[in-house]
Amino acid sequence: MHKKKNVKAILVVLLFALVLTLCVLLAIKLVTASSHNNSVQEEQPPAHQEGTQETGETIPFGSEQLPVVGDVPKTTHDPALFEMVDGRMVYKDASVQTFTGIDVSAHREEIDWNAVKADGIDFAMIRVGWRGNTEGGLYQDEYFVSNIEGALAAGLDVGVYLYSQAITVDEAVEEAEAVLNWIKDYEITYPVVYDWEYVSADVRTGNMDNETLNDCAVAFCQRIEQAGYIPMIYFNLDIGYRRYDLSRISDYDFWLAEYDGAPTFYYDYQMLQYTCTGTVAGSEDQVDLNLSFVDYAALSRQKKAE
């Protein structure tokens, strides 16, 4: 009699253990599935859309091999010719003319632009405004007026950029219209730039798909170009390779952000932001330093003459 009770007790314990194990396995499966879905939202596949011509070659990027897009020009800048000299990037090819610039926003506050000019700076890219990444309000940079007027008075060539968090084409056009209104009284000889950046998954652009991003960039640049300015798109390696469809936006100039040595970006670019820890006379804070491979001032004068 006691043996039968013991057997029943053992069977009950085993059954309970089996049910508990199944519950644990099911919970693990659900958590794993949830984590995978989150990574898909944040980790967009490379943005090569219909009509893209792939060559069969690949570009190493992190742990991936990305297909080379044949209809996007390959860079002509030789990584071996880039060199840091006294804190500034130079391109050691006498046949290639380059220009040194800084980019600034309200975060840099007061700047002595005459000192900047005297320190060998040719141009300034000034933040004209920004869109909030939560509520989506559109604002002029609080130091834009003082920065652009100071830079122009010091004799620097000037371009502007807008920090975008647009999530629709209508918002991107609204941003372009705001920029055009803010710059209409100033001489802009360098590009007007669309600067979209990934912030995190929990902001308004967190789940934005690649196609919408490309639509927004093109809409912004088209409106800027219609107004007679030179449009440009800013990106780092990750956004350039994984978010933008370069075949769609290759009609516009590229401003590449790549730090820590010679750039490795496979495709052509016209401006390089090579550090965010540069120093320049006239600013107590560290600044972003840039190298332009295009004489935009001469190009702007030519466009106006036409």
Six-digit token string for 161: 């950029």
How many residues belong to the chain? 306
Residue type, 55: T
Pair 189, 159: CB distance under 8 Å: yes
Pair 68, 58: CB distance under 8 Å: yes
pLDDT at residue 292, rounded to an integer: 98
Q: Concatenate the DSSP letters of all residues of 202-232 into one string.
A: TSTTTT--HHHHHHHHHHHHHHHHHTT--EE
pLDDT at residue 11, rounded to an integer: 55
Pair 123, 161: CB distance under 8 Å: no
pLDDT at residue 153, rounded to an integer: 98
Placement of tokens 């970006």 in the chain = 265
DSSP lists the bridge partners of residue 288 as: 103
* Whole-angstrom distance, CA of residue 130 vs CA of residue 166: 10
* Whole-angstrom distance, CA of residue 96 vs CA of residue 42: 39
Does the CA dihedral 230-169-258-268 come out positive or negative?
negative
* Whole-angstrom distance, CA of residue 280 vs CA of residue 115: 8
* Whole-angstrom distance, CA of residue 124 vs CA of residue 45: 34
| Tens place of pLDDT per residue across the chain (306 aa) | 444 445 455 555 555 555 555 544 433 333 333 322 222 334 555 665 444 566 789 999 999 999 999 899 999 999 999 999 999 999 999 999 999 999 999 887 789 999 999 999 999 999 999 999 999 999 999 999 999 999 999 999 999 999 999 999 999 999 999 999 999 999 999 999 999 999 888 899 989 999 999 999 999 999 999 999 999 999 999 999 999 999 999 999 999 999 989 999 999 999 999 999 999 999 999 999 999 999 999 999 888 887
pLDDT at residue 79, rounded to an integer: 97
- Nearest 5°: the CA angle 219, 206, 258 is 70
Pair 270, 292: CB distance under 8 Å: yes
CA proximity to 104, closest of 124, 129, 132: 124
pLDDT at residue 47, rounded to an integer: 62
